[in-house]
Amino acid sequence: MEHGRFYFLVDEYFTKFNDANLMNNREMVGGIFHDRPSFYAYYDEKSKIFWLVPISSKLEKFKNLYDQKIQKYGRCDTIVFGNVLGHEKAFLIQNMSPVIPKYIKNQYIERETENPVQIDGILEKELQKKVKRVLSLLRQGKKLVFPNVLEMERILKEEMKNKI
């Protein structure tokens, strides 16, 4: 795994962490299951674990939520908007979750170039700053992320320690 790349998760991850607040691993498009969502990977030096931020194309829904948070709190660190492969997406820090490489199915590769999907440096810096801030606040007891990610992180650290 590499920081700043996009990945898909194996079904086993969702079985192990049976949390209703995790985003579904499969999406039906035209009667066919597709790997969805893809996740932006952030490597946390402190925990030595990757954090995956799902992306969504449901822009209207998340722009409304973003606007509500701005009105209520004056800022929003849990939703970021940016381009992926030329299309605007919502990066849902509020739905991020920890992961270790054994739960990665594959990397998101651009079909035309066969290169790993990437984002521009400005968006990358914004995401890094906000993910780091949200992780810090989570560890201080603030509930900013929907899944029980700190318990998931604890389990993953134990797996790494025991090499399960």
In a domain, 129, yes or no: yes
**Going residue by residue through the chain (164 aa), what tens digit of pLDDT does each one get?**
999 999 999 999 999 998 888 876 655 445 544 566 899 999 999 889 999 999 999 999 999 999 999 999 999 999 999 999 999 999 999 999 999 999 999 999 999 999 999 999 999 999 999 999 999 999 999 999 999 999 999 999 999 998 85
SS (H, E, C) the chain: CCCCCEEEECHHHHHHCCCCCCCCCEEEECCEEEECCCEEEEEECCCCEEEEEEEECCHHHHHHHHHHHHHHHCCCCCEEEEEECCEEEEEEHHHCEEECHHHEEEECECCCCCCECCCCHHHHHHHHHHHHHHHHHHHCCCCCCCCCHHHHHHHHHHHHHHCC
In a domain, 107, yes or no: yes
In a domain, 67, yes or no: yes
Number of folded domains in the chain? 1
> Domain with 46 in it: what CATH number?
3.10.129.130
pTM over cut 0.85 = yes
In a domain, 1, yes or no: no
